[in-house]
Amino acid sequence: MKSKFRHVALIGKYQTVASGASGASSRNALESIAHFLHAQGCEVVFEHDTALNMGISGYPVLNVAGIGAQCDLGLVVGGDGTMLGIGRQLAHFGVPLIGINQGRLGFITDIPFDSFTSTLAPMLRGEYEEDHRSLMHAKVMRDGHCVFDALAMNDVVVNRGATSGMVELRVEVDGHFVANQRADGLIIATPTGSTAYALSAGGPLLHPSIPGWVLVPIAPHTLSNRPIVLANVAEIAIKIVAGRDASASFDMQSLASLLHGDRIVVTRSKHHVRFLHPKGWSYFDTLRQKLHWNEGVA
C-alpha cells in the first residue's frame, strides 16, 4: 500500500553541525530515514537549516513556511526541544508531526531511532493515533503596549534575576485578583509542559486531553502558595511588583527582560500542534518508561 503522506519534510537539530562524530551520526540518521521514505513512495524535502547544518545535499530544501504550505507530514529527528521549536512554527499550518528520538525516549519524540522502519511503515499507511496539544499565546505588556509576543507549547516562566532575591508577582485570572506571590518565580504550564520544569517545581501531571493549565510557584516564600490547575480558556496576567532583573521565558527559548509594572498576559492560542503516534500508543506508556514507574515489579 502506498503512503498516505506524499510530501514529507525532515527536520533535525538546528544547532548540530556537520563536523565531528555527533554531526556525522545525525547526518547518517537523517539520510537513512530519507532513503526509507523514498522507498515508501514519499517525496522527501529537508528543512533549510537542517540541510545546511548537516551538510546534506541532493534533496529539495524548504524553509518552515514552505513546509507548512507544501508538506503533508513533518518528521522530527532529535529530542523534545527540537520538536517544541518546530511545533510552534508549524502549528498554524496544521501539518502533523512525528518525533523520532536518537537518544533517550522523549515525551513528545517517542519513536526510538533503532525501530523507525518497523514503526513508520504502518503509520505512513494511515495506521496511527492522533494527539492534539494546545499552545499558549503570551505577551509582555509595558505601558499599555506589547513589547514581546510569543507562542509556547510547554510553559511560560517568570524568573527572578540570577544574583537578586525573590520577585513579587501580582497574579490575576480573568481580571480577578488571585494573590501577590513572593517567590523565585512562577510557571504557567500546558499539559505538555506539566512533565517539564513544572514537574520539577512540584506541579502535577496533566493528561494531554485536559483543557487546562497548571500555575506553579517556584520556591514560594509562603508555603501555602501551592500549584493550581486552571481552565485554559482563562486569561492569566502576572505583574512584576518588585525584584530586580526579572525575566520571562517561553519554552525556555525566547527570553524577555522585565521591568517593574510589566504584565505578562497568557491566553490560549487558537492553534494547536498535531502529533501522530504508533497505533496503540498510550500516554501512560510514555510516562511509565520516561519516569521509570514500576521498575523492579514483576
Share of residues in the chain with pLDDT > 90 (%) = 78
- Average pLDDT for residues 183-195, to the nearest whole number? 97
48-57, 100-109, 190-199, 214-223: the lowest-pLDDT one: 100-109
- Grid cell 490575576 — which residue? 172
- Cβ distance 246 to 160 under 8 Å? yes
How far apart (Å, rounded) are the C-alpha atoms in residues 194 and 204? 7
How far apart (Å, rounded) are the C-alpha atoms in residues 159 and 175? 22
How far apart (Å, rounded) are the C-alpha atoms in residues 158 and 145? 19
Confidence band of 19 (pLDDT split at 50, 70, 90) = very low
How far apart (Å, rounded) are the C-alpha atoms in residues 148 and 266? 12
pLDDT recorded at residue 17: 44
pLDDT recorded at residue 195: 95
pLDDT recorded at residue 18: 42
How far apart (Å, rounded) are the C-alpha atoms in residues 46 and 23? 16
Q: Which of 24-28, 169-173, 224-228, 249-253 has the highest mean pLDDT?
A: 169-173
How far apart (Å, rounded) are the C-alpha atoms in residues 186 and 278? 35
* Residues labelled as active-site residues: 80
- Cβ distance 131 to 208 under 8 Å? yes
- Cβ distance 159 to 94 under 8 Å? no
Nearest CA to 266 among 154, 108, 133, 132?
154
Sort residue 78 into left (φ over 0), alpha (ψ -120 to 50) or beta. left
Question: Is the pLDDT confidence value at 233 over 60?
Answer: yes
Residue 273: Cβ-neighbour burial (10 angstroms; 0-12, 13-18, 19+): buried
Domains defined along the chain, listed by start: 7-126 (3.40.50.10330), 135-270 (2.60.200.30)
Q: Which of 159-163, 266-270, 292-296 has the highest mean pLDDT?
A: 266-270
Query: Which residues, including other chains, have CB under 8 Å from residue 103's CB and lie 6 or more apart?
Result: 79
Confidence band of 31 (pLDDT split at 50, 70, 90) = very high
